[in-house]
Chains A and B, each alone.
Chain A
Amino acid sequence: MIFFGMALMLPVVWFLPWWCFVLFSVLAGALSGGVPRATWSFAFGAALIWPALAFIKDGRSAGVISQKLSALLSLPSPGLIFVVVFILAFVTAFLSFQTGATLRSARFHQPV
């Protein structure tokens, strides 16, 4: 599931607006069925992609962006900005995936 999360989110994060990350996580959650371990794995994989791609783009500006953003947020080291992005992405993927799974569960448990 980690690799699924990474593979799914690679093009999403690179080419699409941020809210597509939410949308695709919800869809992944709905398709997965909400196995708890799957949620953690997917969120971890998806969340790795966001800071990794941010890191690549930051490299194009020789690290100036991460350096200034870290200063802006009073972080002690420029690298920590990627940890912040990872945490944001992880929480987002986790909650969105869970929501997808919950919606699916609600759909299949509706009384006929």
Chain B
Amino acid sequence: MRRTAYLTIFVTLIWILFLAFGAGPVPALGPLFEVRGGIWQHESSPLTSRDLPGLRKPVLVTIDASGVPHLFAESAGDLFRAQGFVTASQRLFQLDVNTRQTAGNLSAIFGPKALYYDEFFTRFGLRKSAVDAWTKYSQDPSVKEMVESYVGGINSWIDQMPELAPEYKIFGVRPEKFDPVKVVNMGRALTWSLSGRSFDLQLTGYLRRLGAGKTLDLFPEYLPDKYEDYVFPDRLGRPHEKENAAQFAFVSGLTDIPKFPLANPGRGSNNWVVGPAKSTTGRSILANDTHLSITLPSTWYENQLSCPEFNVYGVSLAAIPGVVAGFNKDVAWGPTNGTTDVLDFFEVEFENESSTRYKSGDGWEQALVRKEQIAVKGSGTVTLDIVETKLGPVLHREGKLGLVADWTGYRPGNELRAILKHASVKTARECMAEFSDWLSPIQNFLCADKDNIGFVHAGFVPKRASGAGRFITDGRADAARLTTPVDQVPQSFNPKAGYLLSANQKIVPADYPDYLGWDYEPPFRAMTIRRALNGKPKLSPEDMIALQNENLDLQAEMLLPALLRHLDDDGPWVKRLRDWDYKIRAAQAEGAVFKTWWQFVKEDLFADELQREVGDESKTLLPKDARVAWLFDRLHANPQDTDVHWVDNVHTPDHKETLNEIVTGAFAKALRRMNETQGQDESRWSWKMFNQTRFMHAGRLPGFGSPVLDMDGSSETVRGQSGGHGAVYKAVIATGDWPEAWMQVPGGNEGDPFAKDFGRFVNDWAAGKMRKVEFYRNREEALQKAVRVIHLQPGSGP
């Protein structure tokens, strides 16, 4: 009897502890399901008129029919405080997660499963770089006021919020107070996601196996012009040294480098602008769609910010004050990712296997060693020893050798000042000039006023020693660090063509005096835009919107005829592909069959030499599409061209493969793959199921995102859409005496997953619809059109 009693009490205690604290991935279910204050307790639209501590004068916030807030303040400081407050009221959890990523602080919310990322970002030095950046940013009083006011607004919301956001309840954590470094962390997070990509490590593996000649043949810096498109097409006639095998005599001895979570910026951002002579309005028109991971809530927060110094409309990054892309009365501006190579790796040599002294020139130098801590939910704290050389932090060691990263993102410019100043620029020239302090992430910014258009490749472009930047470089020489900028960043103003465009493609032709990079996105989107801009003497805003929705896939147009030429098959799919107009439509399967086929062709051509595991895209890379297109053209023109050796499979010495065999075999594999992934009923195959466009929740909560959407377009169409990447901001801005603009931010502004407006505009976005935005001249106009009005008053709180 007594034993049963003890057992009952014991089991009850265990159960209560489980309810109170959760276990493993199961959250604390007691507080979560509590009716009074748990997940069931939910206030929609919690922002109401109230006191906002720190305000000097009242701030008016009107909400328009699209849920966009328009903020009117009597000083910039009050405006940014209100912006922080309003943004946090809708997006606090997202702000929190975004700013934790690069701080190496995700494990505090998500537990041990996030430790891999936290360890990497901490070793990589992003946490430290944010502290360094704030030290620099805060020297500018206007930037300091902007950030501190914004942070004050966020913290006021944390103090006043009537209840926790649902995500906090689910993860069983509470928000931490913000500080300026957290804001900078968000900037670092974006910088990392846009310019933290590098294939130097994989290319070094190829260099070791194939030698420099073959590696450069497959992965050249430049291809013939037919296969390229350049943002900055002007010919300077001052080419830098052409790559040659002799430059790459050094081959790193590091052979067991682990897989790092390097960034994958995806592809798809576009911007273009037509000047007055090419515009039906007689004034410049700018189009911009920025592509990032498609998440709910959206990366961007749409708002109008108005104070005596400026009146600006556009999108802000949740956790960063100001407007990053948008327009004011006089000027419109918008970015695409610059994609220039700004991340290099070095091999350093330590004195011995446990030493932190490394070779530098003729001597040995002591690395800095510091300790960093990572809090892990439910598992205490992990302490890391961070070893930092003059070249950068050590990411990996093999005996006496170490791998060091150097990244331009470590060097703060004054990006926040540029964001602040853009709000009040009056000409395209001024807009371009404000990017002089912008170091990272490297971006292609277009600026337009009524009469002028301009482009600047904004960011720190390092000047490298000959041959540096492509592979792991010898770090013993102490000469290669990314500290000196190139003499002149590419920029253009009112070009003869009457338009400017960028689509993450190559920036400059081969006769540019410096190496900028080789790993740009394929030229297909840029070529499609250029074709459209050249095809019409004048374009209207409606033409620009239509071009943003263009689903012609130039990759298919360029490559499919070449594939069909070498295909020994006459089945029904061959006819369908021959009749296809190269447009990617959600309900059709031609695009899916072509893309699958093309992937198998590339794998079957090169997997033998590159020792690539077929289907494993995470470990290695294949040559760019344009390079393979060149191979097909060369072999078509001359079957004995030197490229023919890539066709032969090195693992079958008794048989010499032909291009027809490769192409035909890959076609059969592609149809089999489609069969496996989409079923045997070919009438049900679709691009939609192949591409799987769906929005994930920012905290990766299952069921909080969107279903798979009916969405036209591929990563090679102007309407760029690739699985979890897409146009998270689309805008067409017609400059004029008073600008007109059309935008779409899929998901809208609402960040509360239980609110009715969460995920707003996703279906409109998928259908290619744009929304005319309301840009008010003054608060009276805003009040007339408001669906909700909020008065924020100076005071000490509710």
Contact = CB atoms under 8 A, between A and B. Distances in A.
Interface of A: 13-19, 22, 50, 53-54, 57-58, 60-62, 64-65, 68-72, 74, 85, 88, 91-92, 95-96, 98-99, 102-103, 105-106
Contact of A18 (B12, B33, B701): B33
Nearest to B14: A95
B483 to A, nearest CB: 48
B20 interface: yes
Given A70-B703, A71-B704, A95-B12, A65 B754 contact: yes
Contact of A61 (B5, B34, B42): B42
A50 B19 CA distance: 15
9 contacts: A13-B36, A18-B33, A65-B754, A92-B19, A95-B8, A95-B15, A102-B4, A105-B5, A106-B2
Main secondary structure of the interface of A (DSSP, over half): helix
Contacts of B4: 102
B9 A102 contact: yes
A95 B754 contact: no
Contacts of B20: 19
B253 interface: no
B513 interface: no
A60 B41 CA distance: 9
A102 B8 contact: yes
A15 B41 CA distance: 12
Interface string B36-51: 1111111010000000
B753 interface: yes
A49 to B, nearest CB: 9
B170 interface: yes
A23 B36 CA distance: 16
Given A69-B39, A95-B11, A96-B12, A18 B5 contact: no
A22 B40 contact: no
A107 B40 CA distance: 39
Contacts of B754: 61, 64-65, 68
Contact of B35 (A13, A19, A74, A105): A13
B695 to A, nearest CB: 13
Interface residues of B, number: 34
A106 B58 CA distance: 65
B703 A71 contact: yes
A53 B19 contact: no
Contacts of A106: 2, 5
Contacts of B704: 68, 71-72
Contacts of B703: 68-72
A88 B8 contact: no
Contacts of A70: 703
A74 to B, nearest CB: 7
Given A19-B20, A61-B42, A54 B33 contact: yes
Nearest to A101: B8
A78 B702 CA distance: 14
Given A19-B30, A57-B35, A85-B33, A68 B44 contact: no
Given A19-B20, A61-B42, A68-B704, A14 B5 contact: no
Given A13-B35, A95-B12, A106-B5, A54 B40 contact: yes
A12 to B, nearest CB: 10
B756 interface: yes
B29 interface: yes
A35 B12 CA distance: 18
A71 B39 contact: no
Contacts of B724: none
Given A22-B16, A95-B11, A15 B702 contact: no
Given A60-B42, A72-B702, A72-B703, A15 B15 contact: no
B42 A88 contact: no
B603 to A, nearest CB: 34
Contact of B36 (A15, A72, A102): A15
B35 A14 contact: yes
B31 interface: yes
A8 B30 CA distance: 19
A99 B42 CA distance: 33
Nearest to B2: A106
Shortest Cβ-Cβ A-B pairs, 4 listed: A71-B703, A57-B40, A18-B34, A95-B12
A111 B702 CA distance: 56
A106 B170 CA distance: 39
A70 B41 CA distance: 16
Contacts of B31: 17-18
Nearest to B38: A18
Contact of B40 (A17, A65, A88, A95): A65
